[in-house]
């Protein structure tokens, strides 16, 4: 069985067809939701419960997703180097697991929209309450993506944050449109109607570890 990194390295996403991309993301979703977890400091496990896929081709004729943070001429004037699979990318909306392709000239990522955190040392779960993580005995789905900064940031480059492949039996997956995409003064006009309608959000039921 392929690891998540091998899957992301081997896939070639269709840069020109939204419908084909949607089917490809449907195929990738189980690998993120049921294929393992992010391990931090050999203690915390972060299980992805809902992910949203983002895709932006740097080619003019390709599929555009102009809300993508890591792309040419967005936050930096000029071109950006491509992330390799698996890159954990922190930004204003939370954390992406990026898998970009310099040969095909596209940016692709899965944004962590909801997640469960399990503390191996305490054998308890963490949930957001009153602005901070607190312990609880039952699994809890956290939907505050930006709060992952508290767990994932600040651990250097010595391998303290990594994806661990641990496949589980695939249960149901719910597919929907992405949350809050292209909404607001900058993105609200009609040209963004199609990107808003892309069903690139996938979630699973709560996980009992």
Write down the pTM of the prediction. 0.94
Percent of the chain whose predicted confidence (pLDDT) is above 90: 78
Question: Rounded to an integer, what distance in angstroms lies between the CA atom of residue 153 and that of residue 92?
Answer: 13
pLDDT of 112 reads: 97
Residues 100-127: tens digit of each pLDDT: 999 999 999 999 999 999 999 999 999 9
pLDDT digits (tens, 9 = 90+) for 143-191: 999 899 888 887 766 568 899 999 999 999 999 999 989 988 888 888 8
The C-alpha atoms of residue 139 and residue 184 are separated, in whole angstroms, by 34
> Residue 62 above 90 pLDDT?
yes
* DSSP count for the chain of H helices, then E strands: 4, 10
Where is 119: in which H helix or E strand? strand 106-119
Q: Which residue has the tokens 């972060």?
A: 46
Q: What is the mean pLDDT of residues 22-33?
A: 98
Contact 95, 112 (CB under 8 A): yes
């Amino acid at each position: 069985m392929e690891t998540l990194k091998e899957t992301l390295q081997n896939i070639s996403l269709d840069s020109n067809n939204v419908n084909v991309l949607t089917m490809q993301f449907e195929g990738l979703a189980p690998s993120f939701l049921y294929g393992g977890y992010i391990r931090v400091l050999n203690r915390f496990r972060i299980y992805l419960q809902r992910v949203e896929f983002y895709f932006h081709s740097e080619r003019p004729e390709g599929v555009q997703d102009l809300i993508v943070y890591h792309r040419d001429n967005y936050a930096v004037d000029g071109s950006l180097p491509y992330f390799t699979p698996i890159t954990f990318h922190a930004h204003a909306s939370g954390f992406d697991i990026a898998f970009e392709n310099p040969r095909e000239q596209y940016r692709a990522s899965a944004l962590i929209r909801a997640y469960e955190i399990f503390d191996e040392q305490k054998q308890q779960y963490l949930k957001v309450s009153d602005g901070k993580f607190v312990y609880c005995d039952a699994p809890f789905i956290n939907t505050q993506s930006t709060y992952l900064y508290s767990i994932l940031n600040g651990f250097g480059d010595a391998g303290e944050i990594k994806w661990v492949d641990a496949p589980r039996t695939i249960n149901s997956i719910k597919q929907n449109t992405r949350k809050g995409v292209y909404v607001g003064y900058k993105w609200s006009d009609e040209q963004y109607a199609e990107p808003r309608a892309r069903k690139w959000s996938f979630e699973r039921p709560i996980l009992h570890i």
